[in-house]
Amino acid sequence: MARRRRIKKNTAVKILIAVVVIVLIIAIALGIFYAVNPEKFNELKDKLFPTHPNSPGGEDGPAVQPTLVGTLEMTVIDIGQGDCIFLQFPDGQTMVMDAGSEFGSTNTYDQLAAHLDLRGIEGLDYVFITHSDYDHIRYMQDILEEYEVKNIYMPRVADDMSKTWTKTVAAIEAETWTNEEGEQTPSSVFYTVGDFKIEGENWVMSCHSYLEEDYPNVKESSSAEIKNSVSPVCFLEYADRTLVLTGDSNERNEEYLVERGVLNVDADVLKVGHHGSRTSTIQEFLDAVDCEYAIVSYGEDNEYGHPTPELMSRLQNYTDTTPDGDYNGYKYIYETAKDGNVTVYVDGNGALRIDCELTDDKDFTLNWGEAAEASAVEWLLPVRRFEVQLAA
């Protein structure tokens, strides 16, 4: 059963005292402000805590920002030198793909949880773990303790890859969710081997990894190349748009999948493999998936030199092998270390919109037109960290 996060006793006491003091100060200040000028008070309240008719509680509902009905959302969260992707599908189902790490960013688990809270998420339909590296699983145990998860996708690797992975596997084995009868039901667990699909109403995620007979024996002593190469390449398709998700895929599995002929897709947005490593997102892979926008998730000033000059050069100099009427090459390359959270929206008509948390100079509205009411589009803003949200 999912459990709430536990905080050490001393820390909890200090936090409680600080919160009580701050709340008292704010309450007194707001009381004085309201008594002096109630109109200004209400104006400030509406600005800081906006509501919208499309929010779960209507005009008086909570100030959360759920995706519009019929819209696909993918947010590559600025989690530092790691990967963490939140997906809300057009039928309302949700997924967290990877959850780590804290290196190179202050956007730790609290900010990840805040992102889910702003979306009104109380449980998850899917958790997807691409591979067992720390920078992809650091907060996965926290996710499983905090939220009930119905379905879990994970690589087939040894349980003792690391202490963090061992704890993650234990959390997976203990995970349950509450069914319609109010009963605790064990989460369904699937190994990401071979070709498989996850799908809902009008959307499908087609994933490709090593076939059963070729899947490597991955253990703690395996090379980093082998550990990363079990990351599936997934094509998320909705309304004639395709988003490509890669984990830490590299030249080893990319060459394998290219040879199998399963990557020939005219896609749109690529989540670049392995944080922009030199040995990932090879030229043959780029030719096969044929995207126009790329997102690189990495931490500022990381010790690995990600994204590498070789990878950035491949993206910047890429041209379509076969002209297809789309933009020739990559129009924009988004980087979490510079742009913060990067969110991709696709509506039911295939209109595409990409928003950055920290930058507004990358033509952030792309072909977003008549799909939704203007008021709703204005409200559909990128989810920002709490301090940025309150300062806006």
pLDDT for 315 equals 94
Q: For 67-391, give the CATH class.
A: alpha beta
Residues across the chain: 392
- The segments of the chain whose pLDDT lies below 70 read 1-13, 33-34, 38-68, 102, 104-107, 360-392
- pLDDT in the model for residue 42: 60
Using DSSP's 3-state secondary structure scheme, residue 72 falls into: strand
Question: 378: which 2 tokens?
Answer: 């204005």
Report how far residue 36's alpha carbon sits from residue 283's, in angstroms, rounded to the nearest whole number.
65
pTM (global) more than 0.85: no
Residue 338 and residue 318 in contact, taking contact as beta carbons nearer than 8 Å: no
Identify whether the C-beta of residue 5 lies closer than 8 Å to the C-beta of residue 11.
Answer: no
pLDDT of residue 61: 38
Q: How far apart are CA 204 and CA 240, in angstroms?
A: 11
Q: How far is CA 75 from CA 147, 278, 371, 381, in A?
A: 18, 24, 20, 12
Cα–Cα distance list, 302 to 81, 86, 145, 277, 324 (Å): 7, 23, 29, 12, 37
What SS3 class is residue 30?
helix
**Maximal C-alpha separation, the chain:** 75
pLDDT (0 to 100) of residue 326: 79
Cis-peptide into 307, omega within 30 deg = yes
d(Cα 307, Cα 312) in Å, to the nearest integer? 7
Q: Is 152 left (phi over 0), alpha (psi -120 to 50) or beta?
A: beta
CA 2/CA 157 separation, integer angstroms: 24
pLDDT for position 22: 83
Structure tokens at 316: 């910047």
Q: For strands 94-100 and 123-128, give the pairing.
A: parallel
Alpha carbons 307 and 322: distance in angstroms, whole number: 27
Nearest to 260 by CA among 223, 208, 295: 208
> In 10 A of CB 199, how many CB atoms?
13
